A and B are shown apart, each in its own frame.
Chain A
Amino acid sequence: EAGVTQFPSHSVIEKGQTVTLRCDPISGHDNLYWYRRVMGKEIKFLLHFVKESKQDESGMPNNRFLAERTGGTYSTLKVQPAELEDSGVYFCASSQDFGNTQYFGPGTRLTVL
C-alpha cells in the first residue's frame, strides 16, 4: 500500500511569488492534515480536512495560505504571495478514522528567498 506522497520535495521561490504544494493521502483515508515546521520550532498543525470539507483550519497563519481538497482525494496548499517567514517544511498526513494514527508524508521543504 502506497504511503502519503507529497510534491514537490523541495521548492525555492522568491518573496512575492506563488507556490502550490500537493499531497496525496493514503487511499481510503478520509482525514487529511497539513502541518508545518519552521526551522528550530515545533511542528505545528495548519488544518484538517474530512473528505472535501475543512474540519479545522485554526492553524492557518493568515489569508495568504489557501488549502483545497476538491473531490476529497488529493489536497493542495497554496501560498500567495510567499513571505520569508513561510520557509520551512510542510508535512501532510492522513488517517482513516477519527482519532486513528496519522501517517505522514515526506514533506515539502519550502525556501523563500
Chain B
Amino acid sequence: AQKITQTQPGMFVQEKEAVTLDCTYDTSDQSYGLFWYKQPSSGEMIFLIYQGSYDEQNATEGRYSLNFQKARKSANLVISASQLGDSAMYFCAIISGGYQKVTFGIGTKLQVIP
C-alpha cells in the first residue's frame, strides 16, 4: 500500500516570498514516483513536477522545486518568488511498484497575499 500525508491544511505566503509545502510518503516499493499537482479555483488539476525514486538530483521546473529526502520519505514542494496566481490547492501524490493508480494526499490550500 502507498500513502501520502500532507499536514498543512492551509498556508499563507507573501507575494514574492518562497514557500514550502510539506509532503511525506509511505511505500514498501523501491521504485516509485512522486508528483505535485496544482488545483486552482477553476478546478482543473495541473501537473507541476515529478521526482523518481532513483533520481539523485532534486527535480526543478521553473519556480518549482522538489526537496526530495529519501531517508526521511519526504517530498516537499518549494515555490520560489510566489505570485498571486499561485493561490490554489496543492496535492502531493505517489505512484509505486506495479501499480498505475496515483495515491493523493488531502491537499494544502495556499493563499498568496499581495
The A interface is mostly helix, strand or loop, or mixed, namely strand
Residue contact A89 to B43, C-beta cutoff 8 Å: yes
Contact between A56 and B101, CB atoms less than 8 A apart: yes
* Size range of the chain B interface in the assembly: 20 to 34
Q: A: which residues have CB within 8 A of B? A: 31, 33, 35, 41-45, 48, 55-56, 58-59, 89, 91, 93, 95, 98-99, 101-107, 109
Chain A residues contacting B103 (CB-CB under 8 Å) are 42, 45
Q: Which residues in chain B, 80-106, are within 8 Å of chain A measured between CB atoms? A: 91, 95, 99-106
Query: Closest approach, in angstroms, between the C-beta of A111 and any C-beta of chain B?
Result: 14
Chain A residues closer than 8 Å to B100, beta-carbon distance: 31, 33, 48, 55-56, 95, 98-99
Nearest 7 pairs of A and B residues by beta carbon: A104-B45, A45-B101, A106-B44, A43-B104, A48-B100, A42-B104, A42-B106
